[in-house]
A and B are shown apart, each in its own frame.
Chain A
Amino acid sequence: SQKIEQNSEALNIQEGKTATLTCNYTNYSPAYLQWYRQDPGRGPVFLLLIRENEKEKRKERLKVTFDTTLKQSLFHITASQPADSATYLCALPSRYALNFGKGTSLLVTP
């Protein structure tokens, strides 16, 4: 069966450091992968999409990599800020929908 795995343990880092979150998947051959941010009590918000033929995508302080051989995507936030504290979800396509990982909680402390 298809699986999307994200580190269930919360990631605690100090302000200014780079946060790196991992998304691993099995039994998928995705044409793309998406990352979302979810704040407590809110719906997820789209951050980035990376296609299978793209190795890396950047948007401001965010960088996503996509390795279809390793079946893995890495999500980096550089110069992290306390406002970056949230849960980050990766999502892979499944026909007409998206399947989501369980998310990784990031806490950035001053």
Chain B
Amino acid sequence: NAGVTQTPKFRVLKTGQSMTLLCAQDMNHEYMYWYRQDPGMGLRLIHYSVGEGTTAKGEVPDGYNVSRLKKQNFLLGLESAAPSQTSVYFCASRERLAGGPSTGELFFGEGSRLTVL
């Protein structure tokens, strides 16, 4: 049982390049999230998904796109990377509980460290 797996773990990009971060979870969770974590800023929500085929914007969505074609995967794309997107990116997932919004814990991946030069 791997939990939440993020790839790649490290990446260096040049300004203007594109890339995709992959998040895979094997817990059959409905909800998935992408956060970024920067020194002094804490974890900030980029995009999230409440089920296969659905996505929604979080607090800081600009410059990112996401897709949830399969329930177990949540992809985060950077179409034209900027130095401001240098950060540590965390994917997380949680189950949806019957009867209303989930109160369940988030399961996080180990992070993807992205540097944009």
Please state if B43 and A89 are interface contacts (CB–CB under 8 Å).
Answer: yes
What's the interface size class on A, roughly? 20 to 34
- Look across to chain A and name the residue whose beta carbon is closest to the beta carbon of B90: A43
The residues of B that contact A91 with a CB separation of less than 8 Å are: 106
- List the B residue with the shortest CB-CB distance to A8: B40
Do the beta carbons of B42 and A43 come within 8 Å of each other?
A: no
- Kindly state the interface size class of chain B when it binds its partner: 20 to 34
A-B contacts counted at CB < 8 A amount to: 55
Chain B: CB-nearest residue to A42: B110
List the A residue with the shortest CB-CB distance to B105: A46
Q: Which of A43, A49, A96, A103 has the most CB atoms of chain B within a 10 A radius of its CB?
A: A43
- Of residues 39 to 83 in B, which have CB atoms within 8 Å of A's CB atoms? 40-43, 45, 48, 50, 56, 58-59
Q: Which residues of A contact B33 (CB under 8 A)?
A: 97
